[in-house]
Structure 1
Amino acid sequence: MAVAENKTRPTENDVAAFIDSVGPDARREDARTLDTLLRRITGMAPAMWGPSIIGYGRYHYRYESGREGEMCRIGFSPRKAALVLYFNGRTPAFEALLATLGKHESGKGCLYIKRLADVDMAVLERLAAESFAYMDAHHPD
């Protein structure tokens, strides 16, 4: 039985052009702010993953089911309904920080934020750093 391939892969699409195409203006400015923050934390230039995820770094994963692939170590997508941040490593320290972030929703590996103005940016920066450190410790490529 063939294992399905991951549909989200790095592309050659230009990150700056993608951010410039994001609307409305407030969402575009939030995307620029997140790009600046994640470049600083990771020390990496971003790449587009699929049509709408801006990702920093990459790692290889393999599930017990046998499915494997590559994904960005940390990233975000400025979607219409919310900014989606892809942060891994829900450690106790991460969870404690999350409780002080401000207005957000969260899933297993995602944070959903309507506007950066709704959250404490210092806490968001610490969450991103915690997630990136977790990835470095658990997926040292």
Structure 2
Amino acid sequence: MAYELKTKETENNVIEFIESVDSPKKREDAFKLLDIFTEASGFEAKMWGPSIIGFGSYHYKYESGHQGDTMMVGFSPRKAKISLYFATGDTKREELLTKFGKHTTGKACVYINKVADIDVKVLKELIEQSVEFLNKTYPQK
């Protein structure tokens, strides 16, 4: 049975989504992140699924044959924490995270409470590094 990705690019409006975020502080941070990710990635923001703001996209194909399209980088202002999405196979990611500021990591996500807790310069490096890594790893034809 083919695996169907749940998180796909949608036509939903990014600004309307951010304006719908309950917490005024999270909403403010989401607008800051929107500017940072747009500048650092060089891509326009798009909604991926109902709650992730993604930048750029690429097509991947694994040795297993599984393939699909997903965003290069992104973020989601969730109720508990803000989720940040970067490339996971990049060795520079771990090095950059040591200088990033207050955060926790999951399998694929980096979680922050607020933008004030992190070094924005390092965030930009993480975004740029992820885009560069993904462009090399999955060159688009």
Same fold flag (TM > 0.5): yes
Give 1:109's aligned residue: 108
- 1:79 alignment partner in structure 2: 78
Q: Which moved more, 1:13-22 or 1:62-71?
A: 62-71
Aligned residues: 140
List gaps (5 residues or longer) in structure 2: none
Who is 2:3 aligned against?
A: 4
Aligned pairs for 1:120-139 within 5 A: 120-139=119-138
Give the superposition deviation at 1:43: 1.6
Runs of at least 5 residues in structure 1 that lack an aligned partner in the other structure: none
Counterpart in the other structure of 1:64: 63
Aligned residue identity for 2:83: V
The TM-score normalised by the length of structure 2 is: 0.92
Q: Is the partner of 2:59 in helix, strand or coil?
A: strand
Q: Give how far 1:64 is off.
A: 3.3
8 Å contact 1:89–1:135 — kept in the other structure? no
1:5-34 deviation line (CA, Å, top 9, x unaligned): 111111110011001111201101111111
Q: Displacement of 1:133 after TM fit?
A: 1.3
* Aligned-partner SS, 2:12: coil
- Aligned partner of residue 60 in structure 1, secondary structure: strand
Secondary structure at the counterpart of residue 95 of structure 1: helix
d(CA) in 2 for partners of 1:90 and 1:65? 17
Q: Secondary structure at the match of 1:8?
A: coil
How much has 1:90 moved relative to structure 2? 4.5
Tell me, yes or no, if the aligned pair for 2:41 and 2:127 is still in contact at 8 Å: no
- State the AA in 1 paired with 2:118: V
| Identity among equivalent pairs (%) | 45
- Residue 91 (structure 1) aligns with: 90
Contact 2:101–2:118 (8 Å) recurs in 1: yes
- More displaced, 14-23 or 58-67? 58-67
How far apart are 1:89 and its partner, in Å?
A: 4.1
Q: Give me the CA root mean square deviation.
A: 1.4
